[in-house]
Amino acid sequence: MRIARILTVAALLAGGSAVAKKNDTVELRTPGTTVRASVDAQGLQGPEVKLRMTDSALQGQAFERPVDLKLSDQRIQGTVDQKPVDLTVRERPEVVEMMGTFAGQPSSLTLSPDALTGSVGPCGYNLIIERDRKHYRGTRACGDQRENDVFLAIPKPLEQESASGRMAALSVLLSQP
């Protein structure tokens, strides 16, 4: 019995628990695709996303596109797929709004405890918080394609990032058709 406990503790220390890893994952699920990335102090990491996040930048690759964004209190500037990003970020109690250009396209996104609405890049979203207060669900339209039953989970580590860091990371994920 004692050896089993020691092995369990060693396994948890080496790999972390499955519950902790799941809770630290940002997930966008649509009828056609699922994107997951773990979120930690270094950034976002997943099969399609490898982004380093600091207080002043979000850089790396996402969906085989280079990402180079500079972050400040009220701005996100740089490029995604070598297309310009220039967003103004405004934070109010429990609400973050961004507006401007993302990857060369007009974008406006609002995130609150109750909903995520607006557009980023080619995709528009209308997501409402679920009863569990942990996930958003609703619809999105990317170009001519409208999708129902879209699911978004934003983990605590991403919620705790600065407003510009949070919106930059979400924009990269949500702009992928």
Helices and strands counted in the chain (H then E): 4, 14
Side chain identity at residue 146, one-letter code:
R
Residue 95 sits at φ, ψ, to 5 deg, of -135, 135
Residue 56: CB atoms within 10 A of its CB come to 12
pLDDT classification of 22: cutoffs 50, 70, 90: low
Which among 30, 79, 28, 89 has a CA at the least distance from the CA of 57? 79
Q: Distance (Å, rounded) from C-alpha 64 to C-alpha 177?
A: 13
Read off the pLDDT of residues 98-153 as tens digits, 9 standing for 90 and up.
999 999 999 999 999 999 999 999 999 999 999 988 899 999 999 899 999 999 99
40-59, pLDDT tens digit by residue?
989 999 999 999 999 999 99
Distances from the Cα of 174 to the Cα of 2, 13, 18, 153, 167, angstroms: 47, 33, 25, 12, 10
What's the alpha-carbon Rg for the chain, to the nearest Å? Answer: 17
Query: What pLDDT was estimated at residue 133?
Result: 85
Q: How far is CA 110 from CA 59, 100, 173, in A?
A: 23, 12, 15
Distance of alpha carbon 124 from alpha carbon 122, whole angstroms: 7
What are the structure tokens assigned to 66, written together?
């280079």
pLDDT at 7 over 70: no
d(CA 89, CA 109): 10
The pTM of the full predicted model, rounded to 2 decimals, is 0.85
Partnered with residue 51 across adjacent β-strands are 44, 60
